[in-house]
Amino acid sequence: MCGIVGVVSTQPVNQLIYDALLLLQHRGQDAAGIVTQLGHKFFMHKARGMVRDVFRTRNMRALPGNCGLGQVRYPTAGNANSEEEAQPFYVNAPFGVVLAHNGNLTNAQQLRQELVQTDHRHINTESDSEVLLNVLAHELGRASQGGALQLESIFAAVAAVHRRVRGSYAVVALIAGHGMLVFRDPYGIRPLCIGRGPDGTVMAASESVALEGTGHRFERDVAPGEAIWVTLDGQLHARQCADAPRHHPCIFEFVYLARPDSVIDGISVYQARLNMGQALATRVVSTMPPSEIDAVIPIPESSRPAAMEVARLIGRPYREGFVKNRYVGRTFIMPGQAVRKKSVRQKLNVIASEFAGRNVLLVDDSIVRGTTSREIVQMAREAGARKVYLASAAPPVRYPNVYGIDMPTQQELVAHGRSVEEVRQLIGCDALIYQDLEAMKRAVAALNPHLQGFEASCFDGHYITGDVTPEQVEAMNAPRCMPALEEDDGGGSRLTLPSVQEV
Ligand SMILES: O=P(O)(O)OC[C@H]1O[C@H](OP(=O)(O)OP(=O)(O)O)[C@H](O)[C@@H]1O
Ligand SMILES: NC(=O)CC[C@H](N)C(=O)O
Ligand SMILES: [Mg+2]
C-alpha cells in the first residue's frame, strides 16, 4: 500500500498534489515525492519522511507547472531506508516518463534481468517500481517505433505491460509534453479512481477521499486492466488493455488500509467495517454470553466501526478506553518491529476508570504480528480489568503478502502455524475471538455484487495472480527481512514460542 495521485489542470498543481498527499498519508509514512511538468521539463522533489516534513516552502516553489504526480511510500520491495527509492521515478527515453506506483510486482527479479540483458536498460535501485517504469518505457518505445507518440501506441504499451508484469500495480505516469497515463493491473488489486474539479481539473488517486477532500467530484474507479489517457487539455481516452480482466480487490483495504470515508470499487469502507462488526457480533455471542461483558472497547483507530456494531448487536455498552496520540503515525506500517512496539505505548494510553474491576471486550480490526494486541491486553490488565477478552474483525492472518502489504514472512505472523488457543496464550487475553473468513468475505461482497471475488491471500493463502505459492513468496521476500531483523530489539519484542505444527 502506498498513496498515489496524478493531476492535469489549467492551474499550477503543486499545492493541490501536496493537499491530496496529506489526505493519502495513512497509506505511506516512509517517503513522499512530487513531480510537476512545465513545458517539456519535469521538476521533482522526493525524500524520506512524512509529507509535512519532506516539502518546505522552497521545495514547493521549485515545482511549477499545470500537471504532476505525487506519491507517499510504504516500502514493500527493495530497500526501505533508501532515499533513492522514494517515488516518483524518472526515465529520459522515450519522450521522458515519470511514474508513481502503488503495489508490488511478483516477477520483478525476472523482469530486472530481461531489462538489463535483452532490453539494454539500466536499473539504478532495488525498487520494483523502477522496474515497472522501465518495462513501460521500453514498451512505449517499441510501440511508437521512433515516431511521434500516438494514442494507439500508449494503449499497446500498457497491453504489453500487462503481458510481461505480474503482481499488483495501480499507476499514474506522465509522458513529457504529452499527457497523463493512468492504469490498473488486470485484477484491480490496489485501488485507483478518477474525478474532476469544477474548473475541469482531472485528478486520479488511490482513494476517493483525496478527490473529495480537494474539491473534486469522484467520477469512477479505474477498471481492472483499464488504461486512461488524459491529454493536457483534460480530455479522457479509456481502453481495456488486459486480455482477461477479473475484479478481485484486496480485502485488507477494507479491513485496515483505506480510510473509512473512502469508497473503493463501489464499496464504502466504513460500511464494510460496520458489516464486519455485524458478522463478528455473531461470533461473540456464539462464544460467550454477552452478560459476561461489561463494556466493548475499540482499539483505535481502525476498529471503531466494527466495535460499535458488536456493542450494538450484543446489547452491551460501547466505551472508549484508549486515547490515541494523534501525533504518532500508524504503527503497523512502520518499518521494523522495535519501533512498532515502542509506538503502540506512545500512541495509545488507557482511561483507567473504564477498566477497573470490569470484564472488557477489546475489538481490533486485525491481529497481524500481535504487537498491538499484546501491549493493549497488558495495558488493560495494568489498568485493573478483571477479564480481558479480545475480538478481531478479520480472521487470523496466516500467510505473507506479496501485493503491497508489508507482511514478508510467515514467521512474524502471530497466527501462522498456531491454533487460536496458542495465539490467545501468546497475547495473554482471557478469550480470543476471530472473525470467520467466509463471513468476512460475505460481509464485504454484499456491498458490491459485481465483484468476482477478493484478493485475500494473507487470510487464505490463495495468491490470485497464480504465479506464486506461499513458499516462493517466502524466498522472494527473504532479502527484505534482513534489515528488519537487525532493527529488532534483541528479541524482546518478538513473539516467540517453540515451533508448532500448522493448524
Ligand atoms: O498485530 P499488529 O502487527 O500490531 O497489527 C495490527 C494492528 O495494526 C493496525 O493499527 P495501526 O496502529 O497501524 O493503525 P490504526 O490507528 O489505523 O488502527 C491495526 O489496526 C491493528 O491495530
Ligand atoms: N506498498 C507499495 O505500494 C509500495 C510500492 C513499491 N513496491 C515500493 O516498495 O516502493
Ligand atoms: Mg489499529
Ligand 1 midpoint to CA 363 (Å): 11
Task: Looking at the structure, tell me whether residues 283 and 413 fall in a common domain.
Answer: yes
Task: Looking at the structure, tell me whether residues 360 and 239 fall in a common domain.
Answer: no
Stretch 233-252: mean pLDDT, rounded?
A: 97
Q: Which residues contact 136 (CB under 8 A, 6 or more apart)?
A: 97, 99, 157, 158, 161, 171, 173
Range of the domain at 229: 3-246
Confidence of residue 487 (pLDDT cuts 50, 70, 90): very low
Ligand 2 midpoint to CA 31 (Å): 11
- pTM equals 0.93
The rounded distance, in Å, linking the Cα atoms of 169 and 100 is 10
Q: What single string gives the DSSP state of each residue in 143-171?
A: HHTTS---HHHHHHHHHHHHHH--EEEEE
- Told to judge if 2 belongs to the known catalytic residues of this protein, a careful annotator would answer yes
- pLDDT of residue 502 exceeding 70, the answer is no
Cell triple for residue 107?
A: 516477477
> Cell match 462488526: residue?
277
Q: Is 460 annotated in some ligand binding site? A: no
Is residue 256 included in any domain, yes or no?
Answer: no
Task: Looking at the structure, tell me whether residues 280 and 179 fall in a common domain.
Answer: no
Ligand 3 (single-atom ion) residues, CB below 5 Å: 302
Is residue 493 included in any domain, yes or no?
Answer: no
Is residue 252 included in any domain, yes or no?
Answer: no
Q: What is the pLDDT of residues 397-442, one digit of tens each?
A: 999 999 999 888 888 999 999 999 999 999 999 999 999 999 999 9
Which of 182, 198, 215 minimizes the C-alpha distance to 69?
182
Q: Which residues contact 303 (CB under 8 A, 6 or more apart)?
A: 273, 363, 364, 365, 393
Task: Looking at the structure, tell me whether residues 71 and 186 fall in a common domain.
Answer: yes
Ligand 2 pocket check for 74: Cβ under 6 Å: yes
Residues, the chain, total?
503
Give the per-residue pLDDT at 490. 33
Task: Looking at the structure, tell me whether residues 273 and 236 fall in a common domain.
Answer: no
Is residue 206 included in any domain, yes or no?
Answer: yes
Give the per-residue pLDDT at 480. 65
Q: What is the pLDDT of residues 308-344, one digit of tens each?
A: 999 999 999 999 999 999 888 777 777 777 777 777 8
Q: Which residues contact 472 (CB under 8 A, 6 or more apart)?
A: none
Ligand 2 midpoint to CA 391 (Å): 30
Is residue 222 included in any domain, yes or no?
Answer: yes
Last residue of a domain, one of 246, 278, 311: 246
Q: Which residues contact 36 (CB under 8 A, 6 or more apart)?
A: 12, 13, 14, 17, 42, 43, 44, 63, 64, 65, 67, 68
Q: What single string gives the DSSP state of each residue in 376-442?
A: HHHHHHHTT-SEEEEEESS----S---SSSS---STT-TTTT--HHHHHHHHT-SEEEEPPHHHHHH
Q: What is the pLDDT of residues 13-45, one digit of tens each?
A: 999 999 999 999 999 999 999 999 999 999 999
Task: Looking at the structure, tell me whether residues 11 and 160 fall in a common domain.
Answer: yes
**CATH number of the structural domain spanning residue 429:** 3.40.50.2020
Give the per-residue pLDDT at 475. 73
- pLDDT of residue 274 exceeding 50, the answer is yes
Cell triple for residue 319?
A: 466505551
Give the per-residue pLDDT at 79. 81
Number of structural domains (the chain) is: 2
User: Looking at ligand 2, which atom is closest to the CA of residue 76?
Assistant: 9
Give the per-residue pLDDT at 489. 37
Task: Looking at the structure, tell me whether residues 276 and 226 fall in a common domain.
Answer: no
More confident residue, 146 or 184: 184
Task: Looking at the structure, tell me whether residues 230 and 357 fall in a common domain.
Answer: no
Query: Considering every ligand atom, which ligand is closest to the CA of 368?
Result: 1
Is residue 361 included in any domain, yes or no?
Answer: yes
The single-letter DSSP state of residue 356 is T
Is residue 458 included in any domain, yes or no?
Answer: no
The rounded distance, in Å, linking the Cα atoms of 72 and 70 is 7
Ligand 2 pocket check for 6: Cβ under 6 Å: no
Q: Is 30 annotated in some ligand binding site? A: no
Task: Looking at the structure, tell me whether residues 312 and 405 fall in a common domain.
Answer: yes
**CATH number of the structural domain spanning residue 75:** 3.60.20.10
User: Looking at ligand 1, which atom is closest to the CA of residue 347?
Assistant: 12
User: Looking at ligand 2, which atom is closest to the CA of residue 2?
Assistant: 3
Ligand 1 pocket residues where CB is under 6 Å? 256, 299-302, 330-333, 364-373
Ligand 1 midpoint to CA 165 (Å): 31
The rounded distance, in Å, linking the Cα atoms of 1 and 103 is 6
Q: What is the CA radius of gyration of the chain?
A: 23
Task: Looking at the structure, tell me whether residues 280 and 227 fall in a common domain.
Answer: no
Give the per-residue pLDDT at 336. 75
Is residue 288 included in any domain, yes or no?
Answer: yes
Task: Looking at the structure, tell me whether residues 165 and 277 fall in a common domain.
Answer: no
Task: Looking at the structure, tell me whether residues 415 and 281 fall in a common domain.
Answer: yes
